[in-house]
């Protein structure tokens, strides 16, 4: 997935290979619904929450207790409505092996070719 070490979870890759599951490169946007619909809204909501707290408490720093409290509501707001839409927008929910169109994997064609020997 993306040919980048940070995108690989080797037990998952091993499982996929053993079970004939293809993980094409450069397609994590299609295979990771949280990246598409959840993390962006969460990041924005967290920034807003933290900035509001810092403005109201300008002489203080955010400590662990405040961080947990400031994270709770943005987390609920970002995850709850966006999880299902993330799976739907990446076309992997409801489950259908033909749901993801071939054009979504065109980027993988750049690296999906036989090596040329000397």
pLDDT digits (tens, 9 = 90+) for 7-64: 556 787 788 788 887 776 666 666 677 776 788 888 999 999 999 999 999 999 989 8
| Per-residue tokens: 67 | 């961080």
Q: Percent of the chain, pLDDT > 90?
A: 18
Residue 34 domain-assigned (yes or no): yes
What domain range includes position 79? Answer: 30-110
pLDDT value at 2 more than 50: no
Number of Cβ within 10 Å of residue 22's Cβ equals 10
Q: Is the residue at 40 inside a domain?
A: yes
Secondary structure of the chain: what % helix, strand, coil (to 5)?
Answer: 65, 0, 35
Maximal C-alpha separation, the chain: 66
Number of compact structural domains in the chain: 1
pLDDT tens by residue, 94-108:
666 666 677 766 766
> Considering the domain boundaries, does residue 75 fall inside one?
yes
> Higher model confidence: residue 67 or residue 83?
67
């Amino acid at each position: 997935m993306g040919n980048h070490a940070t995108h690989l979870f080797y037990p998952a890759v091993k499982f996929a290979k053993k079970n004939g599951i293809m993980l094409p490169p450069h397609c994590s946007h299609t295979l990771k619904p949280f990246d598409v619909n959840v993390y962006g809204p969460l990041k924005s909501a967290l920034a807003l929450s933290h900035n509001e707290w810092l403005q109201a408490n300008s002489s203080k720093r955010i400590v662990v207790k405040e961080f947990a409290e400031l994270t709770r509501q943005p987390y609920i707001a970002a995850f709850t409505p966006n999880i299902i839409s993330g799976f739907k927008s990446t076309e992997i929910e409801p489950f259908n092996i033909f749901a993801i169109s071939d054009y979504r994997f065109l980027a993988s064609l750049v690296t999906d070719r036989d090596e040329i020997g000397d």
